[in-house]
């Protein structure tokens, strides 16, 4: 029995140990199998990732909220799955360009999109457009939510997931390519002065990705892009297709889920804007606008990081500009929200982060301060501003300041511009750049608010500055005369104007209840006061003379006289400034050429806008100011007479041979101007744009009356029994060709019979020097009509206005010109003069 018990115990022990061994064996096998499966899964996940970036030498990665991979010439995005369905902003900017006028500007319109995914695709969705609904109607909101969906804009195959399956990886190369209109779209942009870009065709063989960077809430791709441009000159397509090379930075930024509160924009107030569709009225909907502005709080100031490469004196000039804006904020009770800090030395700081405010030193050939905003298209919140300060600001001062200020300020009578003068110029330019960064828009009427007497008053200019808005395109007080500087007259833009202060109040002042009513009341408070008039760009056939580039003051005659006086001083005295052999030859040689630009672009163009001009004001039933008012007849006639008396007495341009020789062996500048059609081209340009002004006036200055006055001036010599001078014959040739070109019937006849016939004047279209000087190079006047805009946007067209048929008037004036030429022929002193008259008579008779 005892032995049996021992055998049983031994058996149980053996069985137990065997079971334990078996269990341990199974556990080990199970564990091994689990580890094997895990390794297999891990390998599988890694293999998908490794498949994309096999050669580590070709792979660069930058990590942030979104990770961006650059592999060869491809861009891969790695976006966390938790961000799917979120709002993103696409912004593209030109950070460098072979055309300096494009540097520091947008490469394309910003785009708002939603990134989402399916099992196999990443989706870029086009978000539902901004709408405004009745806040008290829940049913309306529910109905819109159900009826609207986000359209699919682009799709990208999912390449794989990260090893922890938290992020999706896809190839986004095609989206960041310059052929994508979200990245590069230059249509409608100015190019080289008077040219307009129709389209830009990227050249893939000469374009490449430079870098790909990730930041806290965004990624950016910088690439060098070469594009072939299609361009037009005043509406006419050119056969020339220049190539443009640009450095383009494209940003994909994650937008915050918490949106800034919006504020309604008003077309009478000069702010930036975004649009929405207003459905609050059930019977009809309309387009509405929100202002663009900063989300400024005591905890969230506007911090600008200043490039440490900018020299100390320039840094102080920039800080002075910021201080001037902070003074306005102080008056609103908002403290001093603009802070300037140097680039941080922290290794995590990167100035190329598109979502921080920077003032960068531009080491390129640009000579203008550049600025652009990155804006949340949902609310109008300005997220960041990029400002560029060029290294050669002195060039800008020489190019603009010398011709306007040398007579008044001796500091401009030299090639070597003092740093003090450059700093004043920088402060003036930064005032506008900071204004843009705060949400203010270009206000072309600011410089037309004050009288010449006010602008020559030390007390007035020291208190108010020289313009009602620094957002205009004027820098210098060229109405100042010798001796004014010594009296204390302000000579350059130095502080925000009264209109700027009002706009800042509209944007940022705290408002309690009834915000909409209060904003409307504010917008009408200064109705009819020219200091607070917001001047937008106007269409050519409805030109508002208050809204012109380079104008200053409310008296165009006084402005013209002042500018001519300054240029005469330049012609007489400037050769004495060029005795130093170290002055570059190109500056010396082009110096007389810039006088021509000063005369035509900055003197003739602004004053001629009064002819056929019309004052355009925002329509409002509570306003005492009419929405349209033609420039009075007396003013139009006065301007025409002034142009003739000024521009047909340009012999003073040739009076100083030393000045002429600065540009080489120049015989005469005045003859060059006349032979190239000025000022008659500008005067005839205005003829086709007088129709609306005539229609809106009870006592109009008609096209016929205008041509009668021109005719009297053109044939003044022959009417007084004298032969026609060579300059006047050149102008009459432009006059005749313009009259024919404005009549469709005569134009067709002329085209049929004029093959092989050349003009008496220089062929303007092939005149390379005109192209270099950025002057108009065509005498054709076809009017093009653009898309109709309303509200905040500039007026690009007038509803139902089709222009005025003046063919009969032009026909009669051609017959009249022939009679005058017959008389002038009889007064000719030699065969050459008679031959010129015969030629012009023949040009008319071919079409009559």
Q: How confident is the model at residue 765, as a pLDDT?
A: 36
Tell me what pLDDT residue 786 has.
30
* The pLDDT value given to residue 489: 98
Query: For residue 491, what pLDDT is reported?
Result: 98
Q: Is residue 277 part of a domain?
A: no
DSSP 600-634: IIIIIHHHHTTTT-EEE----TT-SS-SEEEPPHH
> How many secondary structure helices (H) and strands (E) does the chain include?
27, 25
pTM to 2 decimal places = 0.86
More confident residue, 758 or 420: 420
CB neighbourhood size of 494 (10 A): 20
In this structure, the answer to whether residues 337 and 233 fall within a common structural domain is: no
> Out of 143-147, 430-434, 632-636, 722-726, which region has the weakest mean confidence (pLDDT)?
143-147
Band of residue 407 on the pLDDT scale cut at 50, 70, 90: very high
Query: Domain end: 341, 356, 388, which one?
Result: 388
Angle at 304 between CA 176 and CA 309, to 5 degrees: 85
Q: For residues 760, 762, 764 and 769, what is the CA-based torsion angle, rounded to 10 degrees?
A: -170
In a domain, 193, yes or no: yes
Give the whole-angstrom CA distance, residue 155 versus residue 152: 8
Res. 785: pLDDT tops 50: no
| Selection from 128, 444, 94, 69 nearest residue 277 by Cα | 128
- Beta strands at 357-362 and 338-342: parallel, antiparallel or unpaired: unpaired
Which residues face 115 on adjacent strands?
86, 124
Specify the pLDDT at position 195: 78
71/127 same-domain check: yes
- The total of structural domains in the chain comes to 2
pLDDT confidence of residue 795: 67
pLDDT higher than threshold 90 for residue 551: yes
Same domain, 310 and 364: yes
**Which has the minimum average pLDDT: 2-16, 407-421, 437-451?**
2-16
Confidence of residue 782 (pLDDT cuts 50, 70, 90): very low
Tell me, yes or no, whether 251 and 116 share the same domain: yes
- Please, which pLDDT band fits residue 658 given cuts at 50, 70 and 90? very high
Same domain membership, residue 309 and residue 250: no
Q: Is residue 351 part of a domain?
A: yes
**How far, in Å, CA of 550 to CA of 566, rounded?**
15
Please tell me whether residues 130 and 187 are part of one structural domain.
Answer: yes
Cα angle vertex 572, ends 571, 574, to 5°? 70
Range with the lowest mean pLDDT among 109-123, 272-286, 577-591? Answer: 272-286
Examine the domain organization and report whether 78 and 215 are in the same domain: yes
Q: What is the DSSP string of 646-666?
A: HHT--GGGGS-HHHHHTTSS-
How confident is the model at residue 150, as a pLDDT? 83
pLDDT tens, residue by residue, 166-185: 999 999 999 999 999 999 99
What lies within 8 Å, CB to CB, of 826 at 6+ separation is none
Among 130-139, 342-351, 696-705, the range scoring the smallest mean pLDDT is: 130-139
Please compute the mean of the pLDDT values over residues 529-536 and round it to a whole number.
Answer: 96
Residue burial 679-701, b: 16+ Cβ < 10 Å; e: rest? bbbbbbbbbbbbbbbbebbeebb
| Helical ranges in 553-619 per DSSP H | 556-573, 585-599, 605-608
Q: Count of alpha carbons within 13 Å of 788, Cβ hemisphere only? A: 5
pLDDT of 29: 52
Q: Name the residue among 549, 552, 535 with its Cα closest to residue 270.
A: 535
Q: Are residues 250 and 313 in the same domain?
A: no
In a domain, 250, yes or no: yes
Higher pLDDT pick, 97 / 312: 312
572-618 confidence digits (pLDDT tens): 999 999 989 999 998 988 899 888 888 888 899 999 999 999 999 99
pLDDT, position 48: 62
Residues 317-337 have pLDDT tens digits of: 999 999 999 999 999 999 999
- Pair (250, 381) in one structural domain: no
CA 830, CA 835: separation in Å to the nearest integer?
Answer: 9
Q: Per-residue pLDDT averaged across 767-776, rounded?
A: 40
Q: How many CB atoms lie within 10 A of CB 777?
A: 24
- Residue 361 burial class via C-beta count within 10 angstroms: exposed 0-12, middle 13-18, buried 19 and up: middle
**Mean pLDDT across the chain:** 87
Give a yes or no: residue 504 inside a domain: no
Does residue 794 contact residue 787 with C-beta atoms inside 8 Å? no
Is the residue at 464 inside a domain?
Answer: no
Highest mean pLDDT among 135-144, 796-805, 823-832: 823-832
Give the mean pLDDT of 52-59: 88
User: What is the pLDDT at residue 541?
Assistant: 78
Question: Which strands form 382-390's sheet, in the order they lie side by side?
Answer: 338-342, 302-306, 357-362, 382-390, 370-375
Same domain for 249 and 326, yes or no, is: no
Does residue 183 lie in a domain region? Answer: yes
Shared domain check, 233 and 98: yes
Can you tell me the distance from the alpha carbon of 261 to that of 568, in angstroms, rounded to the nearest whole number? 55
Q: Are residue 242 and residue 331 in the same domain, yes or no?
A: no
- Indicate if the pLDDT at residue 761 is higher than 80: no
Question: Which pLDDT belongs to residue 127?
Answer: 86
Tens of pLDDT, residues 701-752: 999 999 999 999 999 999 999 999 988 999 999 999 999 988 888 778 777 7
Domain annotation covers residue 496: no
Among the three residues 201, 225, 258, which one is the final residue of a domain in this structure? 258
Q: Considering the chain, what percentage of its residues have pLDDT values greater than 90? A: 64
Check pLDDT > 70 for residue 447: yes
> Among 276, 33, 49, 62, which Cα is nearest to 168's?
49
**For residue 264, is the peptide bond before it cis, meaning its omega torsion is within 30 degrees of 0?**
no
pLDDT at 27 over 80: no
Confidence of residue 13 (pLDDT cuts 50, 70, 90): very low
Q: Name the range with the highest mean pLDDT among 91-100, 781-790, 817-826.
A: 817-826
**What's the pLDDT at 8?**
43
Per-residue pLDDT, averaged over 10-37, amounts to 49
Give yes or no for residue 147 having a pLDDT over 80. Answer: no
Q: Please give the C-alpha separations between residue 405 and each of 307, 415, 446, 481, in angstroms, as whole numbers.
A: 30, 13, 20, 9
Domain range for 153 is 56-258
- pLDDT confidence band for 132 (50 / 70 / 90): confident
CA angle 421, 427, 430 (to 5 degrees): 140
Domain boundary, last residue among 388, 420, 441: 388
């Amino acid at each position: 029995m005892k032995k049996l018990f021992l055998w049983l115990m031994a058996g149980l022990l053996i069985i137990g140990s065997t079971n334990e061994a078996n269990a341990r064996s199974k556990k080990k096998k199970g564990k091994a199998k689990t580890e094997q499966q895990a390794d297999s899964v891990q390998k599988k996940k890694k293999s998908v990732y490794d498949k994309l970036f096999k050669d580590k030498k070709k792979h660069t990665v930058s990590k942030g909220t979104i990770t961006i991979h650059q592999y060869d010439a491809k861009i891969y995005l790695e976006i966390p799955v938790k961000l799917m369905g979120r709002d993103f902003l696409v912004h593209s900017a030109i950070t460098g360009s072979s055309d300096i006028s494009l540097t520091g500007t947008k490469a394309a319109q910003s785009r708002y999109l939603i990134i989402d995914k399916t099992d196999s695709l990443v989706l870029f969705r086009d978000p539902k457009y901004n709408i405004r609904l009745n806040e008290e109607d829940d049913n309306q909101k529910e109905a819109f939510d159900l009826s609207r969906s986000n359209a699919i804009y682009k799709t990208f195959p999912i390449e794989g997931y990260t090893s922890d399956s938290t992020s999706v990886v896809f190839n986004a190369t095609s989206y960041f390519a310059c052929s994508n209109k979200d990245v590069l779209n230059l249509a409608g942009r100015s190019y080289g002065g008077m040219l307009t870009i129709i389209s830009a065709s990227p050249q893939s063989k000469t374009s490449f990705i430079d870098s790909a960077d990730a930041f806290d809430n965004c990624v950016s791709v910088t690439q060098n892009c070469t594009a072939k441009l299609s361009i037009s000159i005043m509406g006419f397509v050119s056969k020339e297709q220049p190539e443009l090379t640009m450095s383009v930075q494209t940003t994909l930024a994650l937008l915050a889920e918490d949106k800034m509160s919006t504020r309604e924009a008003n077309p009478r107030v000069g702010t930036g804007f975004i649009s929405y569709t207003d459905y609050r009225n059930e019977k009809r909907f309309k387009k509405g606008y929100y202002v663009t502005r900063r989300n400024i709080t005591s905890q969230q100031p506007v911090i600008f990081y200043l490039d440490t490469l900018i020299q100390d004196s320039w840094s102080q000039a920039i800080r002075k500009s910021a201080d001037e804006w902070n003074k306005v904020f102080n008056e609103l009770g908002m403290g001093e929200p603009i802070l300037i800090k140097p680039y941080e030395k922290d290794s995590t700081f990167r100035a190329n982060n598109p979502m921080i405010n920077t003032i960068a030193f531009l080491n390129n050939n640009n000579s203008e301060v550049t600025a652009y905003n990155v804006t949340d298209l949902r609310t109008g919140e300005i997220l960041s501003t990029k400002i560029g300060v060029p290294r050669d600001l002195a060039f800008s001062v020489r190019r603009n300041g010398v011709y306007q200020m040398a007579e008044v300020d001796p500091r401009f009578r030299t090639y070597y511009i003092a740093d003090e003068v450059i700093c004043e110029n920088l402060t003036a330019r930064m005032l506008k750049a900071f204004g843009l960064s705060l949400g203010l828009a270009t206000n072309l009427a600011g410089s037309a608010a004050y009288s010449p007497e006010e602008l020559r008053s030390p007390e007035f200019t020291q208190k108010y500055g020289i313009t009602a808005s620094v957002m205009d395109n004027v820098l210098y007080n060229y109405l100042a005369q010798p001796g004014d500087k010594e009296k204390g007259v302000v000579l350059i833009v130095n502080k925000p104007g009264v209109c700027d202060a009002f706009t800042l109040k509209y944007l940022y002042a705290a408002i309690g209840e009834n915000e909409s009513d209060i904003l409307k009341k504010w917008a009408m408070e200064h109705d009819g006061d020219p200091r607070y008039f917001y001047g937008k760009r106007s269409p050519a056939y409805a030109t508002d003379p208050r809204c012109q580039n380079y104008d200053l003051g409310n008296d165009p005659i006084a402005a013209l006289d002042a500018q001519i006086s300054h240029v005469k001083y330049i012609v007489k005295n400037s050769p004495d400034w060029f005795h130093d052999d170290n002055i570059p030859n190109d500056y010396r040689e082009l110096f007389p050429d810039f006088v021509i630009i000063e005369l035509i672009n900055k003197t003739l163009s602004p004053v001629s806008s009064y002819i056929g001009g019309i004052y355009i004001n925002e329509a409002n039933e509570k306003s005492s100011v009419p929405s349209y008012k033609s420039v009075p007849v007396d003013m139009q006639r006065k301007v025409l007479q002034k142009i003739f008396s000024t521009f047909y007495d340009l012999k003073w341009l040739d009076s100083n041979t030393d000045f002429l020789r600065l540009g080489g062996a120049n015989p005469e500048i005045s003859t060059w101007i006349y032979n190239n059609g000025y000022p008659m081209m500008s005067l005839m340009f205005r003829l086709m744009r007088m129709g609306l002004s005539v229609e809106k006036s009870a006592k109009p200055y008609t096209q016929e009356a205008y041509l009668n006055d021109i005719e009297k001036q053109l044939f003044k010599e022959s009417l007084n029994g004298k032969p026609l001078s060579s300059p006047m014959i050149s102008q009459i040739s432009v006059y005749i060709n313009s009259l024919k070109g404005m009549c469709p019937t005569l134009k067709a006849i002329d085209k049929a019979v004029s093959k092989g016939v050349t003009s008496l004047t220089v062929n303007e279209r092939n005149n390379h020097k005109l192209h270099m000087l950025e002057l108009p190079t065509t005498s054709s006047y076809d009017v093009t009509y653009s898309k109709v805009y309303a509200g905040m946007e500039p007026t690009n067209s007038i509803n139902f206005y089709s222009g005025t048929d003046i063919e009969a008037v032009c026909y009669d004036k051609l017959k009249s010109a022939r009679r005058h030429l017959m008389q002038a022929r009889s007064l000719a002193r030699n065969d050459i003069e008679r031959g010129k008259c015969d030629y012009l008579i023949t040009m008319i008779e071919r079409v009559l």
